[in-house]
Amino acid sequence: MAKTSRSPVLATADSRKDLDKKSARTRVRILDAAARVLSTKGYGGLRLSDVAEVAELQAPAIYYYFPSREDLIEEVMWVGLADMRAHLVAELDKAPDDSTAMDCILIAVEAHLRHELEISDYTTAAIRNSGQVPDKIRERQQVEEKKYGAIWRGLVVRAAEEGQLREDLDLYVAQMLIMGTVNWAAEWWQPGRVAMDRVVANAQSFIRHALAPTD
């Protein structure tokens, strides 16, 4: 299954002129192209000429929408995390009322992996380049990371309160190890080599057995 780019949502008023709508679509096209290039070539390898080629534009046209290469990258990475957080919240909201905290952790594992690997080039780009971009670019991303991490922290704390975690675990360390496990999949997973369903099932089993008390 081919990955699709998840574009940022652009609110447009009914009174917008056709030119404004065309401009908004072009901006999204540039962001989609940048997300694809950044997810594969990384921060150091992203060239605006490559982005322009994917977007089917002339490279100088990008500067009409983004003042610099860094501004474009910053937007892509922020969208990647903001969109993944929205996706995770939506998937957790679908959980049955009787779902345990462990059930919700496993739902979150699947939501993260599928969004990271299968759904959004933006999210892949954000995760793979998190440690490569300058701190100035990461400021907005770090705010979003904290919001995303707070969701996971809530799940882990709830699991501990429900007695579904081993008592010897440090909750912060456990959370970081879970997130490190699912994030690292972006570095090794390749479409066609291992089925996505298998990756999800193995990750869920791995994490559940690492966290749950032994009988």
pLDDT for the residue numbered 10: 35
Is 17 part of a structural domain of the chain?
no
pLDDT for 45-92, tens place per residue? 999 999 999 999 999 999 999 999 999 999 999 999 999 999 999 999
Structure tokens at 68: 């610099």
The CATH number of residue 198's host domain is: 1.10.357.10
CA distance 163 to 52: 53
How far apart are the two ends of the chain, measured CA to CA in Å?
A: 39
CA distance 166 to 181: 18
pLDDT for the residue numbered 15: 34
pLDDT for 104-123, tens place per residue? 999 999 999 999 999 999 99
Can you tell me the mean pLDDT for 142-160?
95
Is 96 part of a structural domain of the chain?
yes
pLDDT for the residue numbered 86: 94
Domain of residue 97 covers 71-211
Lowest-confidence range among 8-12, 147-151, 164-168? 8-12
Instruction: Report how far apart, in Å, the C-alpha atoms of 202 and of each of 69, 116, 126, 195 are.
Output: 38, 16, 24, 11
Q: Could you give the number of structural domains in the chain?
A: 1
Is 37 part of a structural domain of the chain?
no
Is 148 part of a structural domain of the chain?
yes
In the structure, what pLDDT confidence band is assigned to residue 136 with cuts at 50, 70 and 90?
A: confident
Q: Answer yes or no: are the C-beta atoms of 49 and 58 closer than 8 Å.
A: no
Residue 4 has pLDDT above 70, yes or no: no
pLDDT for the residue numbered 196: 94
Strand, coil or helix: 140: helix
Position of tokens 């066609």? 192
pLDDT for 5-53, tens place per residue? 544 433 333 333 444 677 888 999 999 999 999 999 999 999 999 999 9
Is residue 160 exposed (0-12), middle (13-18) or buried (19+ Cβ within 10 Å)?
middle
Q: What is the pTM of this model?
A: 0.86
Is 44 part of a structural domain of the chain?
no
Is 120 part of a structural domain of the chain?
yes
CA distance 202 to 167: 24
Is 131 part of a structural domain of the chain?
yes
pLDDT for 167-205, tens place per residue? 999 999 999 999 999 999 999 998 888 999 999 999 999
